[in-house]
Amino acid sequence: MLSKVIWGWNGGVVTTQLFCKDGKVIDIHLSKPPPTCPAHDISHFICGFHTNLEWDFSIDPNHIAEYNAVFMEHLLLLYYGYPNLDDSELLEQINAISKHMNWFAHEYYKIPQTFGSKYNNDYLKEQFLSKLDSTITSKFYYSFYCATYLVEELKLEQNEIKIQLTLDPNTAIVDESCKSYIDRIKKLGN
Total Cβ atoms within 10 A of residue 77:
16
DSSP lists the bridge partners of residue 17 as 6, 27
Question: How far, in Å, CA of 110 to CA of 39, rounded?
Answer: 23
Mean pLDDT (whole number) for 163-185: 98
User: What value does the mean pLDDT take over residues 103-125?
Assistant: 94
The pTM of the full predicted model, rounded to 2 decimals, is 0.96
SS3 93: helix
> d(Cα 10, Cα 162) in Å, to the nearest integer?
4
pLDDT tens for residues 22-73?
Answer: 999 999 999 988 888 999 999 999 999 999 999 999 889 999 999 999 999 9
pLDDT in tens, 130-171: 999 999 999 999 999 999 999 999 999 988 999 999 999 999
Cis before 61 (ω within 30): yes
